[in-house]
Structure 1
């Protein structure tokens, strides 16, 4: 009889599955490695933000296109990453989507996801990717890695220039700048950062002055051009 104690094991990982199709969530839950424990599910942006904040999983398996988003400049999946990253910094995100477009891949990676698989991946591939992402690695379906390399390679010079401009802003002003540029209203920024709307307004005025911009529309264009969103 084989010695069970000698069998290879992985640390149990806590995972949240976010997808607006319940059948897909059920199938994914059933097919994952037994060492991966699904501790929550969600079907839209608000419920995803809530369940991730509540359960604080190791990894979130995240569809790119989700209903319920409020940020018009980002996909639903990217918005989830953006909204919970500051509150749950140790959680890592792995996008899992039918889409293989460069825009979707680069958008969710810019938001902070650590990898991107298409839904053609097998359950074993997804399980291996979850373990890899939890360990700090980046994982991509083979043809998608090129999108990321192209996008971030071209951005090196722009990022260096943007760093000089960002040095003019305080850490809090940078937080406010990114949220405003993503389309958040003053009240939403205030709630996210636990400050007053009046303070948000003051920070925005300071940001515009320091960057020599005249409106939040110009700020959005400025941040987008420098790949800061």
Structure 2
């Protein structure tokens, strides 16, 4: 589903990612564990095409996406949930969720929205509220719902549990479990995998921009 080979990237002249190799098999939920500043967000942004790597390759479902613009990821059915949510505060919840569909002219937008609401009925319950009226945890759910609009094959979730109350963390974990059973591939970053220990199939550790060989947690994902 996703294969990174020898990815190097810098920001403002400072090397951040160093020869990163990473692979996600179809239907696997993979953890990316590292402290703040280790390079997790930079790696996510590089995969999404928001930051161009200095070298290396990004292959998504057999297609070389390294030099392609971010919108090609949506066409490849990849969704991204950034750490800081990046919702438009003056738009409603439903409008925020539909942004990827509008921007990329997704033909199945209505069906995807219905699927999102089926998985997360609590989000449908506040669909007409402005994003700025939501709690931080509720905004995380909306950001996940927005990522799911285009991410029907692969989801990249950057620190989805950070700053979320325990009850909402459990709800997020429940949704991710459902997505996993439906065959989506997921890359999920955390400072540790205390929230996702029961979900992940394997874990990569990132430190100072270098990623270690994966640790197999469960299943045959080799």
Does TM, normalized by the shorter one, top 0.5? Answer: no
**Higher strand proportion (structure 1 or 2):** 2
* TM-score between the two structures when normalised by the length of structure 2: 0.33
Ranked by relative contact order (alpha carbons within 8 Å, sequence separation 6 or more), the top structure is 2
**Higher helix proportion (structure 1 or 2):** 1
Q: Which has the larger radius of gyration?
A: 1
